[in-house]
Chains A and B, each alone.
Chain A
Amino acid sequence: MIAEAFKFPEINSILRWKDLFTSFNKVALIAVAAAVIGSLIFILAGRKNALVAPKGVRNLAETSVEFIENGIVMQTMGKDGLGWTPFLLSLFLFIYLCNVPGIIPFLQMPATARMAIPMFLALLVWVIYNGVGIKHQGIGGYLKSTLFPPGVPKALYILVTPIEFISNILVRPFSLMVRLFANMLAGHILLVTFALLTSSLVTAETQQFLLKPMAILPFFMLVFLTAFEVLVAFLQAYIFTILTAVYIGGAAHPEH
């Protein structure tokens, strides 16, 4: 008989951390570290001699720039969008470095699993793609191309325009924010669940000799999910960046 049933902790206790000092906790520390590490990589890489074959930090930096250029910008915006590479690269790197601490031992918390960082990033992207649209087409032209898509019968605009307004202006930043936030939070909660299951099976006060070795099952699941989170951390950063590129590209060059 198990002495006490397995009890899942309050959601606050797995997401809130004690302040290191006033209003600065582990999540803020991870976000600051992500910004510092990201800048440091590129500052160090920029100091290396550009004429010799790249190695070490410079190799990493060049690979990531190439990945953003070929994997994201060229696929979504074409040659005109190459000027957006620095912005998309810093966005990608920041999100990735915020996601990855979710699986680094002793840190074990993705900074993007708190709403503040995804929300700020999504609002930033919202301001930028609307700004780009207004800059390239003028305020009237931008509203006309987003709210009144061409090729629709005139009578249908009563129906189409509100839908386009909601989906382009309101839902886009919301879904961008929720996608990143909920993915990282879900991964974090899954890891917490299986870690707790393992530890509560190992420490269970029980007469049944089969129960304690059963802890190997949630432990395997924990290892597998940790490997899965490596993939998710990369994929979410990639999806956030590629959607940003699609939105900016769509605002700059509307389909005719």
Chain B
Amino acid sequence: MEAIARLIAVTDPPQTPADVKAASAAASAGFAYGLAAIGPGIGIGYLVGKSVEAMARQPEAAGMVRTTMFLGIAFTEALALIGFVVFILIGL
């Protein structure tokens, strides 16, 4: 155990609390955005897939489906974008 501790002490330069804070902020910013993108990614994929299905079944309703699709995308996407704002707030 002592050897490992000495090895770590040699390889790691001394860290100030500010360094530690910046490093953990950078890491958690990445996690925040990555996690925030999962749900909306699935949601938008599902939404657009279903809309394409609807448009292919009933091409004459394509205009209406497209408007509703954009509305749905706007609502779903907001979550990912809030994640992006959080990423900027804590990461940069």
Which A positions have Cβ atoms within 8 angstroms of B? Answer: 10-11, 71, 75-76, 175, 178-179, 181-183, 185-186, 235, 238-239, 242-243, 246
- Chain B residues, CB < 8 A from A175: 75, 78, 82
Residues of B within 8 A of A243 (CB): 71, 74
The 5 closest A-B pairs by CB, nearest first: A182-B81, A175-B78, A11-B92, A239-B74, A75-B67
On whether the beta carbons of A242 and B81 are closer than 8 Å, the reply is no
A170 to chain B, nearest CB (A): 13
A235–B70 Cα gap in the complex (Å)?
A: 9
Question: A179–B92 contact, CB under 8 A?
Answer: no
B contact residues around A185 at 8 Å (CB): 84, 88
List B contacts of A182 (CB < 8 A).
81-82, 84-85
Asked if A238 and B85 make an inter-chain contact with CB atoms under 8 angstroms apart, the answer reads no
Chain A residues near B70: list those with CB within 8 A: 235, 238-239, 242
B64 interfacial by beta-carbon distance below 8 Å: yes
Mask, B66-83, CB within 8 Å of A = 1, is 010011011101100110
Q: Which of B70, B71, B81, B82 has the most CB of A within 10 A?
A: B81
